[in-house]
Structure 1
Amino acid sequence: MTNQRPLTPFELAHFDRESQLGNVPKAEVALWIGTTVRGDLDLDTLREVLAELAASHALLHAVAVADGHGGMRFELLADYQPPLEVRTGAQDEYLRLINSTPDWSTGLFKAHVISDGDVHRVVIVVHHGICDGRSMFPLVGELWERYSAHRAGSPLPVSDSDSVLVDGVDAQLAGTVTEAEVDAFLEQLAFIVAAGDPNLVPLQLPFDSDGTADARGRFALHTIELSPEETATVVTAATAHGFSVNSLLSGAALAAVRSELDADAGPVMMLAGHAVDVRAELSPPLPGPTVLNCVGGVPTPVFAAADVDPVELAKMVEVGVRGAVEARFPALILRALVRGIDPVAAGMPVVLPTLGLSNIGRIPAYPVPDELELVRNFVYAKAPGMPPAMTMFTIGDRLTIQVEYDTVEHTHEQLGRVTEAMREQLRRLAGIEAR
C-alpha cells in the first residue's frame, strides 16, 4: 500500500495560492463542521472517536509537504491522533474559531469543543484540499455513530473501506473525460464567448463596509433554521412547481440578493455559482465513505428585475443547472482548468458570482446517545475574496440556510437585510414563518 503520492493540480490549487484555478479563491480554506449538543459530553470518548476517524480515512491521517520541485505530496502519518482543543464560550467564541488559521503542518484533521455550561459545540476542521461537504457531513454522522457505540459499550471496528490513498478527482476524471472531449468543450465555450455581448456582465453585491473586519474576525454568518413541518412545506412547494428544492431555494436566494443590488428596477444579470459534486462522473465509483474533495462548479446566469418572481428565477436555475450537469460541464471545466487554460478562452466569467450557492441536500439524522440532546448543526468555509454565499443542508427533517459573508467587504446590516429578505421569500413561497 502506498503511503504517499503527489498532489494533483486541482488539489495543489487548494494548498498553494500561486496555483489558483478559476476565479474563486481556494487556497488554504478550512472546512469547519459540527454539531451543538446539550448534556454530558465525554471528552475522553470523543478523543477515541477522533483517532478512529483518522485511522478509518486515509487523507485524515495525511500531511501535505513540499516535494522540493515546486509541487507537493501527501504523506500518511502512522497512529495520527487529531488534536482536540477545548475552550469556553458561545457564539462569539465560535466566530473567533472559524476566523482562526489552523496549523496544517502537523495534520489536516483537527477538532475543537466550545462549551457554555452543558451546551457543547463539537467542531471538526479539515483542510478543504482533501475534503468537501459531501465528505464532511457523513463524517460527522460517523463521529456520532462511533461515539454512541462507545457509550453503549460496543465500539465499532476501524473501517478499511477508505484506507487507500486514492488519486485526486481531476486525475481520476481523466479516465472518463477524454482530451478530445475537453478540446470540443473549449471550442464550444470559445464560440459562446465570441457570440456574446461583452458589455453584459453580472452585477455584484455592493461593498458597503469600510474595509475593516469585525472585532470577532472578518468572516460572519446569519442562520435560518426551519422546523420539520416548515421543511416539509418547502419540499411540497418545490414539488408543486415541478422543480427541485435546490432550484426553489436558489430562486428565493437570488431574489433576496436582488433587493440589495445597486440597479434600477429593470432586469439585470446575476450569476449564481453552484457547487456541484462530480463523484458520479468517476469510474470506478469511489467507495461511499471516501474522504476526498470532489466539488466542481456551475455558473448559472439569471436575469432579475426589482420585482422578480422567485419562481421564475428558480425555473432559470433549474434549466441552467440541469443542462450543465447533463452536458457534464462540472467535469469538463475541471479537466480543462488543470491544463492551465486562459479563463476567457474557457468561457468563464471574468468576475466573481453574485452569490455562491451550496446545497448539500438531505443527510440522515445523526445518532446521539440518550444523555445528549442535538441542538443544531453547522458548517462554514470561507476565504478572503470569496463572494457572499448561502449554504443549505437538511439533516434528518430540518432545513438550515446559512448566509455567509466577509465583513471587510459587507456589513452585518447589509447581509442581515438579505437574510430577512430570504425569510420573506420563504414565507411567500411556502407559506411558512421562517425563524
Structure 2
Amino acid sequence: MRRALCPVETLYVGQRSRAVLSCTLRGQLDPEALSAAFDAVTEAHPSLRSRVVPDGEGFALHLLAESERPRLTTRTGAAEEAHTTELNTPLPVGGPLSRAVLVSASDGDSHLFVLSVDHTVVDGHSGIALHNEIWDRYRALAEGEEQPAAAANTPAWPPPVSAFLPPADPAETAGYLERRTEAARRNPVELVGYDVTGPAAVEGRIEVCRLTLDEERTGRLRRTARAAGVSVHALVAAALLTTARRRLPGDEPRTLGCLSPVDLRSRLSPPVPALVMVPAVTTHLQTLDVTPDADPVELARTVHARLAAFVAGDGPSQEMRITPEIPRNPTLQLATVIATNMGVVPGPRLPEGLEATDVRLVPAREQYFPAAGRSPVMACVVSFEGRLAIEFPHFTACFSPEFVRAFRDEVSAALAAHTDAAEPAPAPAG
C-alpha cells in the first residue's frame, strides 16, 4: 500500500530534515500507557508508520509491515544528554518516518519525551498537534476513559496540500517564477561566514542555543510589537537581521535575506486541520539593504509590511507551485536568516500527578556542509503556554557554540531594548 509524493513533498526527501518535539516532565508516568498512546496515534496516521520508496521518476510513501512500524523506546538517562542524542540520531533511510523515545531519570520522577518526524510528512503546526494528540491519548488512558474501537480498515493517507491549491493559469505561474528568479539574480544575499575552520571542522554535531522569555517578558514583547504596528515575528526577524549584519565587514548597506515559512492550512479551501500529517507550508523570501546601525523597528515595519502583502495576495499558492524549481535554483530560498514562527500554541494536557516543565520544537537535518564556508542562521520561534522561546540549532563544525551564544545574546539584547524603550521593566519587588 503506497501513496505517491507530490513535487512539494519530494523536496523534503533530499533534505532529510526533521521536526524534533520534546517535553520535559515531572511526576509519575506510565510507560506502557504512553506506548499504547503512541501506537494509537501512529495507527490513526499511516504516514507515521511508512517509509519513502522510489516510485517511477519520483517517490512514494509505502506502509511498513507490522513488525517494522515505530514503537516507543524507553531508557534511563539524563534529559539534556538525551535531547542532544535524539537531535543527532537521524531517522533511518528506508525506515519509519517517526520515532518516539522516553528517557526517565533513575528516581522515576523526571522524564523527557522526544518525538522526531520527517518533514516529508509533517510541518511545525502538525508536529505540535501530533505531540499534543499523543498526550491527549495518554491522559485518556491514565484516567481510565473508554477508548474508541480501532477502525476496521487502515486509515487513508491524506492527499498532498498541492491538491488543494486553487486553479492557476500556467502562464501566470511561469511569469511569477521568472520574476522570482530575476529578483534573486539582481539581489544576491550575503551569508554569515562560519567561525570554525581547519581541522576542527572535520567533525561536528547538532547543538541548540536557546533564548527564552518568561510570561512577563513575553507579554511586554507582544505589547511592544502591537504598539509599533508589527508582529512579534517581524521584531524577531529584525533583531536577527541586524545581528547578522554586524557579523559582516564594513559600514555600508549589505543585501541580506530573510526567509519566513508561511502556514497554508487556514488559507486552503477547505482548510486543512493541524492533525493532517502533510507539510502544509510555503515560504516568503525578502531581501533588505541593512547597515550595522539600522533602526530595528523600521526594519521590522518593512519585514511586516512585505510579509503581510505576500500573504494577502496569491504569493503563497504561487510559491508552492514553483517549489519543484528550488533544487535547480537554490537561490529562490537562499537567505541570511531563516525565521520560523509557530505563534502561540498550547502545550500538552496531562493527567493529575504529571506536569510538563518545558516543551520544545527544534528543526534538525542530516547535512550541514561545513565546506561551504557560510550559510543561513536558523531561528525557530514558538510560544508554548505564553512563554516565547527562540531555538538556534547549529552544527558545531560550522558555527561554534561560543559564536551562536554571542549571536543569541545580541538578539536577546535587541528585543529587550525594544520592550524597555516602549514599556520599562517593572521595578523588582522589595
**Greater mean alpha carbon deviation, residues 417-426 or residues 212-221:** 212-221
Change (3 A) 1:178 1:279: farther
Partners in 2 of 1:77 and 1:373 — Cα distance? Answer: 34
Task: Supply the AA of the counterpart residue of 2:240.
Answer: A
Task: Supply the AA of the counterpart residue of 1:282.
Answer: L
Change (3 A) 1:94 1:290: same
Correspondent of 1:100 among 66, 85, 89? 89
Q: Is the 2:265–2:273 Cα contact (8 Å) retained in structure 1?
A: no
After TM superposition, give the deviation of residue 351 of structure 1 in Å: 7.8
Correspondent of 2:358 among 370, 376, 391? 376
Which consecutive unaligned segments of at least 5 residues does structure 2 have?
Answer: 369-374, 426-430
SS of the aligned residue for 2:115 comes to strand
Number of the residue aligned with 1:243:
230
Partners in 2 of 1:98 and 1:216 — Cα distance? Answer: 16
Number of the residue aligned with 2:394:
405
SS of the aligned residue for 1:14 comes to helix
Which consecutive unaligned segments of at least 5 residues does structure 1 have?
Answer: 18-26
1:421 corresponds to 2:410: yes
Partners in 1 of 2:242 and 2:215 — Cα distance? Answer: 24
**Structure 1 residues 216-295: aligned runs within 5 Å:** 217-259=204-246, 261-295=247-281
Task: Supply the AA of the counterpart residue of 1:127.
Answer: D
After TM superposition, give the deviation of residue 183 of structure 1 in Å: 2.5
**Structure 1 residues 160-175: aligned runs within 5 Å:** 163-173=155-165, 175=166
Correspondent of 1:202 among 162, 185, 189? 189
Partners in 2 of 1:158 and 1:105 — Cα distance? Answer: 31
Number of the residue aligned with 1:13:
11
1:353 corresponds to 2:335: yes
Number of the residue aligned with 1:141:
132
Partners in 2 of 1:325 and 1:159 — Cα distance? Answer: 40
Number of the residue aligned with 1:306:
292
Q: Note the alpha carbon deviations across 1:354-385, whole angstroms, 9 max, x for none.
A: 11110011112321222112111112223324
Task: Supply the AA of the counterpart residue of 1:286.
Answer: V
After TM superposition, give the deviation of residue 132 of structure 1 in Å: 0.7
Q: How high is the sequence identity, in percent, across the aligned residues?
A: 25
Q: Is the 2:11–2:324 Cα contact (8 Å) retained in structure 1?
A: no
1:389 corresponds to 2:378: yes
Change (3 A) 1:179 1:303: same
Partners in 2 of 1:270 and 1:240 — Cα distance? Answer: 26
After TM superposition, give the deviation of residue 104 of structure 1 in Å: 4.7
Partners in 2 of 1:84 and 1:217 — Cα distance? Answer: 28
Change (3 A) 1:252 1:190: closer
Q: Is the 1:37–1:119 Cα contact (8 Å) retained in structure 2?
A: yes
Number of the residue aligned with 1:83:
71
User: What RMSD, in angstroms, separates the aligned Cα atoms of the two structures?
Assistant: 2.7
Change (3 A) 1:220 1:152: same
Change (3 A) 1:371 1:417: same
Number of the residue aligned with 1:23:
none
Q: Is the 2:91–2:98 Cα contact (8 Å) retained in structure 1?
A: no
Q: Is the 1:138–1:363 Cα contact (8 Å) retained in structure 2?
A: no
Q: Note the alpha carbon deviations across 1:130-157, whole angstroms, 9 max, x for none.
A: 1010100111111222211111111553
Task: Supply the AA of the counterpart residue of 2:5.
Answer: L
After TM superposition, give the deviation of residue 289 of structure 1 in Å: 2.0
Number of the residue aligned with 2:45:
57
Change (3 A) 1:288 1:222: closer
Partners in 2 of 1:413 and 1:341 — Cα distance? Answer: 32
Change (3 A) 1:97 1:77: closer
Number of the residue aligned with 2:344:
362
Number of the residue aligned with 1:296:
282
Partners in 2 of 1:158 and 1:224 — Cα distance? Answer: 43
Q: Is the 1:361–1:394 Cα contact (8 Å) retained in structure 2?
A: yes
Aligned residues: 409
Task: Supply the AA of the counterpart residue of 1:129.
Answer: T
Change (3 A) 1:407 1:235: same
Q: Note the alpha carbon deviations across 1:3-39, whole angstroms, 9 max, x for none.
A: 4221112222222x3xxxxxxxxx2212211211112
Number of the residue aligned with 2:317:
331
Task: Supply the AA of the counterpart residue of 2:390.
Answer: I
After TM superposition, give the deviation of residue 285 of structure 1 in Å: 2.6
Partners in 1 of 2:65 and 2:277 — Cα distance? Answer: 18
Partners in 2 of 1:290 and 1:218 — Cα distance? Answer: 32
Number of the residue aligned with 2:110:
119
Structure with the higher helix share, 1 or 2: 2
After TM superposition, give the deviation of residue 55 of structure 1 in Å: 1.7
Partners in 2 of 1:91 and 1:213 — Cα distance? Answer: 24
Q: Is the 1:211–1:409 Cα contact (8 Å) retained in structure 2?
A: no
Number of the residue aligned with 1:20:
none
After TM superposition, give the deviation of residue 415 of structure 1 in Å: 0.9
Partners in 2 of 1:350 and 1:364 — Cα distance? Answer: 33
After TM superposition, give the deviation of residue 418 of structure 1 in Å: 0.5
Q: Note the alpha carbon deviations across 1:219-275, whole angstroms, 9 max, x for none.
A: 11111121111111111111110111211221122223223x222123222111111
Correspondent of 1:430 among 419, 424, 428? 419
After TM superposition, give the deviation of residue 339 of structure 1 in Å: 5.9
After TM superposition, give the deviation of residue 165 of structure 1 in Å: 1.5
Q: Note the alpha carbon deviations across 1:143-194, whole angstroms, 9 max, x for none.
A: 222211111111553798x943122223432x44442331232344466568
Q: Note the alpha carbon deviations across 1:85-109, whole angstroms, 9 max, x for none.
A: 2231232332122111222534212
Change (3 A) 1:216 1:96: farther
Task: Supply the AA of the counterpart residue of 1:391.
Answer: C
Q: Is the 1:360–1:394 Cα contact (8 Å) retained in structure 2?
A: yes
SS of the aligned residue for 1:359 comes to strand
